[in-house]
């Protein structure tokens, strides 16, 4: 992810103007795509199967849920408003 000077990756700035629910979906899709690419790289393949895509999506879901849980345990005010990630 490329930084253009304000300290945030381009992908974070691009989703900052979106409603929170849309930004969460966008973040999950980006993470899922990155995980799929990593799975293929580790296994030395250039083509993904449906199982690969489903696994990457499930992993993204779990990782983002863990991140939300960490944020809410450290910043309860964000958990109450639903703005923690």
Torsion angle of alpha carbons 37, 12, 59, 61, nearest 10°?
-150
pTM of the model: 0.65
On the 0-12 / 13-18 / 19+ scale of CB atoms within 10 A, 85 is middle
Model confidence pLDDT, tens digit, residues 32-73: 999 999 999 999 999 999 999 999 999 999 999 999 899 888
| pLDDT at residue 15 is higher than 80 | no
Per-residue tokens: 15: 């989703």
Top mean pLDDT of 1-5, 28-32, 80-84 is at: 28-32
> Measured between alpha carbons, how far is 73 from 19 in angstroms, rounded to an integer?
23
- Give the percent of the chain with pLDDT over 90: 56
């Amino acid at each position: 992810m490329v930084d253009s000077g304000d300290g945030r990756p381009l992908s974070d700035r691009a989703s900052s103007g979106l409603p929170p629910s849309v930004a969460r979906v966008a973040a999950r899709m980006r993470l899922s795509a990155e995980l799929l690419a990593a799975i293929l790289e580790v296994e030395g393949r250039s083509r993904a199967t449906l199982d690969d895509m489903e696994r990457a999506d499930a992993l993204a879901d779990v990782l983002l849920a863990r991140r939300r849980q960490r944020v809410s345990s450290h910043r309860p005010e964000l958990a109450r408003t639903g703005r923690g990630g």
